[in-house]
Every structure is written in C-alpha cells, then in structure tokens.
C-alpha cells in the first residue's frame, strides 16, 4: 500500500510536469493545426536558462523560473515568426518537417554551445526536505511542482476563457478567416499563443530538471514526446484534456515503473498511445468531428 501511495505521488509529480508541457502542444495544435516538435526543446531551453540564472547570475530559484519563462516565451515567438509563419498556408507536411528541423536545430545548437555531457542542476536549499504523513514522504519539490502547475493551469484557463486575448485565441482556432473578418489580429494572436505555450513549457523544463538534477541538450525529447502523447490522450486541442492527459500519463508511467519494470515504462507509454488511437482517436475529452470536404 505504501509503495502504491508513493508511486501515485510520484505520478502526480511527473504528471503535472507533463500536463504543463502538453498544454503548449495542445494550444499550438488547436490554433495552427501543427504538431510543434520543437516544444520539447523549449523545455530543454527553459532548463538551461533556469540553470544559468542560478549558477551564473546567482538569482534565487523563483526569479530563475521567471527568467526562464520570459526568455522562452520570446524564443517561442521568434520560432513562430522565423520558421512557421512563412508556411502558414503551405501543406501540413511541410510545416511538420520545419518543426522537426527547428527541433533538431535547437538540440544540436545547444549541444555545440554547451557540450553534450549532462550539467548538474544545483540543489536549491529551500527545496530540501519533505513532509511526512505517517510513512509516506512528500518532498518539497513535489509540493512546489504540483502547486505551481495547478496555479498556472488555472491562470491559463482564466486567460483563455475570460480575457479578450483568450477570446481572440478561441476565435482563431475556430475559424481563422472569420476571426480576421471580425477584426482579430490573427498573427498577433498566434504569436501570443506560442509565447504562452513556451512559457509553460519552460516552467515544465525547470521543474523537470529540478526533479532529475540534470540538464542536457537532448533532455527535451522524451518528456516532449510523452507530453504529446498526453495531449492526444486527453484530446488534442482541448486545454482541460491536456491537463487530464498529463496526469493520467504520469500515473501510468510511475505505476508501471513501480509494478512492472523501469526499463519497459517507455514502451508502455507508447503502447497506450497506439491503444488510444485504436479505440478513441479523438481522446478522452474529445468529440468526434465530421470532416467536411
């Protein structure tokens, strides 16, 4: 039982990180119908910027998170403007290949600039220690991760549902042309979507690197993929779906590590993706949409 509870806590910890990353995928997919392969690398960049703010600029942990999020938001917008914007009306496969190219570029650029060997994330002194409830231990890192992700998810939900820019985002994802006719600045809205998604991805990256203590150029690949699976699981394009998918994904992963095998957990995660696509391709919260000619 203790093992089970401990694994569930781990699952919620990882799951909240996946949920944060999955939000970026789902928002971008919802608005420009593009699987942003580079999103996993935004996570990696976020981790690097967080690391540098702590080690080089001696910023406190909170400020490091904010710096990472801001810088990544800018990079997210830049990626959109440089690489994706010229291809807005191109075939989807071209945009996908571009996304793949951007992802490769970021990974290898960071490898060349900062070396392939993993860098160690310093221990944040205020995050050492844990809360004990009976025999179950919950570390401060877990508490912080879950709290931060819930705060930001609620914040995002608020932005999307209640503000003007959120309304613009929803209208663009519904129908780009109609939104333009209604006076919505489509390109600006898309840029803001990228910025928001990238900021959340950077937050996920910093939290991920704090949980696993290391930062390396290819670190974004696996969590990025799993977060994408989470987004598909919850129903791609649906924001609450991405959160739900992220938590489900984290739980499945940590339970399979606890009860089946560590080395097979990745295979199980992708096995789930294939099963979801077979039985409920629109995802848990998704509705089946008829394709119009």
21 versus 206: smaller Cβ distance to other proteins? 21
33 versus 161: smaller Cβ distance to other proteins? 33
- Among the residue ranges 3-11, 122-130, 132-140, 273-281, the one whose residues contact other proteins (CB under 8 A): 273-281
* Cα distance between residue 219 and residue 225, in whole Å: 11
Give yes or no for residue 78 binding other proteins (CB under 8 A): no
Give yes or no for residue 260 binding other proteins (CB under 8 A): no
Give yes or no for residue 165 binding other proteins (CB under 8 A): no
Give yes or no for residue 114 binding other proteins (CB under 8 A): no
* Cα distance between residue 283 and residue 275, in whole Å: 11
- 52-55-56 Cα angle (round to 5): 70
Give yes or no for residue 81 binding other proteins (CB under 8 A): no
Give yes or no for residue 4 binding other proteins (CB under 8 A): no
- List % helix, strand, coil for the chain (3-state, nearest 5): 75, 5, 20
Residue of 71, 190, 232, 243 interacting with other proteins (CB under 8 A):
232
Question: What character string, x for contact with other proteins (CB under 8 A) and - otherwise, covers 138-157?
Answer: --------------------
Instruction: Please give the full DSSP string across 203-240, using - where no structure is assigned.
Output: HHHHHHHHHH-EE-TTTTHHHHHHHHHHHHHH-TT-HH
Contact in structure between 253 and 11 (CB atoms under 8 Å): yes
Residue of 3, 74, 90, 150 interacting with other proteins (CB under 8 A):
90
131 versus 267: smaller Cβ distance to other proteins? 267
Give yes or no for residue 285 binding other proteins (CB under 8 A): no
Give yes or no for residue 8 binding other proteins (CB under 8 A): no
Who's near 221: CB < 8 A, 6+ residues apart? Answer: 40, 107
Residue of 181, 263, 287, 288 interacting with other proteins (CB under 8 A):
263
Who's near 210: CB < 8 A, 6+ residues apart? Answer: 121, 124, 127, 141, 145
Give yes or no for residue 94 binding other proteins (CB under 8 A): yes
116 versus 147: smaller Cβ distance to other proteins? 116
CA atoms within 13 A on the CB side of 122: 15
Residue of 97, 141, 211, 251 interacting with other proteins (CB under 8 A):
97
Sequence-distant contacts of 127-131: CB under 8 A, at least 24 apart: 127/61, 127/210
Give yes or no for residue 104 binding other proteins (CB under 8 A): yes
- Among the residue ranges 70-78, 163-171, 192-200, 263-271, the one whose residues contact other proteins (CB under 8 A): 263-271
Instruction: Please give the full DSSP string across 129-172, using - where no structure is assigned.
Output: -EEEETTEEEEHHHHHHHHHHHHHHHHHHHHHHHSHHHHHHHHH
Closest residue by Cα to residue 24 from 96, 88, 77, 83: 77
Residue of 225, 251, 284, 285 interacting with other proteins (CB under 8 A):
225
* Cα distance between residue 55 and residue 215, in whole Å: 13
Summarize as ranges the residues that interact with other proteins (CB under 8 A): 35, 83, 86-87, 90-98, 100-105, 107-109, 111-112, 221, 225, 228-229, 232, 261, 263-264, 266-267, 269-271, 273-275, 277-278, 281, 291, 293
């Amino acid at each position: 039982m203790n093992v089970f509870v401990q694994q569930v806590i781990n699952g919620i910890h990882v799951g909240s990180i996946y949920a944060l990353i999955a939000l970026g995928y789902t928002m971008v997919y919802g608005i420009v119908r593009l699987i942003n392969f580079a999103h996993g690398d935004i996570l990696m960049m976020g981790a690097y910027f967080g690391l540098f703010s702590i080690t080089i600029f001696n910023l406190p942990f909170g400020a490091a998170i904010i710096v990472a999020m801001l810088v990544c938001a800018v990079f997210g917008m830049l990626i959109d403007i440089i690489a994706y914007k010229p291809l807005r009306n191109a075939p989807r496969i071209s945009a996908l290949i571009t996304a793949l190219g951007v992802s490769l570029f970021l990974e290898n650029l960071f490898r060349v600039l900062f070396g392939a060997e993993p860098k160690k994330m310093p221990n944040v002194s205020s995050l050492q220690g844990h809360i004990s409830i009976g025999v179950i231990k919950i570390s401060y890192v877990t508490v912080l991760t879950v709290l931060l992700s819930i705060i930001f998810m609620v914040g995002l939900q608020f932005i999307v549902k209640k503000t003007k820019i959120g309304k613009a985002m929803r209208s663009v994802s519904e129908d780009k042309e109609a939104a333009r006719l209604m006076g919505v600045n489509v390109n600006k809205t898309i840029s803001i979507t990228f910025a928001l998604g990238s900021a959340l991805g950077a937050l996920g990256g910093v939290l991920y690197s704090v949980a696993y203590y290391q930062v390396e150029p290819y670190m974004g690949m696996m969590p990025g993929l799993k977060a994408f699976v989470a987004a598909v699981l919850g129903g791609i394009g649906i924001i609450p779906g991405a959160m739900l998918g992220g938590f489900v994904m984290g739980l499945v992963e940590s339970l399979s590590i606890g009860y089946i095998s560590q080395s097979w957990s990745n295979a199980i995660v992708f096995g789930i993706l294939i099963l979801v696509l077979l039985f409920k391709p629109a995802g848990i919260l998704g509705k089946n949409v008829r394709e119009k000619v």
